[in-house]
Structure 1
């Protein structure tokens, strides 16, 4: 008979290859623990469903719509169920409108600051008391 099934042979080959790559048992265990932690990084506090660490607010909002439709009307309840939904706007899921508005506000603030700076410069010059000097002419 054979020395084991193909599954056992594949597992042994995998272990040999990992040892060749220099990964110790502790490193593999740490990587496995990190993967488990990342898989359950976000959790719905109502139904305890977990989400990956990279789950975006639109996905979390879809969970609320599908599983907790009674909470969809009140954004304060969203944060109670999924704290990562704080400040999320379902009408602007990618945040493009908010980013454009912030950019406009920043440009307006810079323009206002530049205008104040020019006015202040003129006032400084006038208060310094400019004098007219004689021009040097050719003899």
Structure 2
């Protein structure tokens, strides 16, 4: 064996030790900052209540109707994300289904019967 095998062993040992040590201080700080931003992704402008980044618009609208019923007609006063929100269609299924274009049906292809005489006329042989 040459010197290369020892270099590879040393590199593998360094990687194992890094895994045992865990995250560095900078990585921990960056992770904590990301968690803090994600946990306060949506904030009500009136009462300052925060919602996670994965909160649906229906949940945000529910907050508006429950906590601020006088702002029910203008939910964007609480959350900018509710611009264009339709309470009658909370998941946006009707809006997604509306702009469907008319479906064009393909024309039926009339299958012609295979006529071997046409193949023979074209110069093809029928068999071996």
What does residue 43 of structure 1 align with? Answer: 43
- 1:86 is matched with 83
How far is the alpha carbon of 1:53 from its aligned partner? Answer: 1.1
1:56 and 2:56 aligned? yes
TM-score normalised by length of structure 2 = 0.62
Deviation at 1:28, TM superposition (A): 1.1
The number of equivalent residue pairs is: 87
Q: Per-residue displacement from partner, 1:88-117 (whole Å, max 9, x unpaired)?
A: 1111111111111022xxx14x86xxxxxx
If each structure's helix is expressed as a fraction of its own residues, which one has the higher value? 1
> Stretches of 4+ moved more than 3 A in 1?
none
Q: How big is the alpha-carbon RMSD for the aligned residues of Structure 1 and Structure 2?
A: 1.9
Give me the whole-angstrom Cα distance separating, in 2, the residues matched to 1:54 and 1:30.
20
Distance in 2 of aligned mates of 1:26 and 1:78: 39
Q: Secondary structure at 2:26's aligned position in 1?
A: helix
TM-fit CA distance, 1:27: 0.3
Counterpart-to-counterpart distance in 2, 1:20 and 1:70: 55
Give the SS at the match of 1:59: helix
Structure 1 unaligned spans of 5+:
1-17, 112-139
Aligned twin of 1:33: 33
Q: How many Å separate the matches in 1 of 2:69 and 2:30?
A: 39
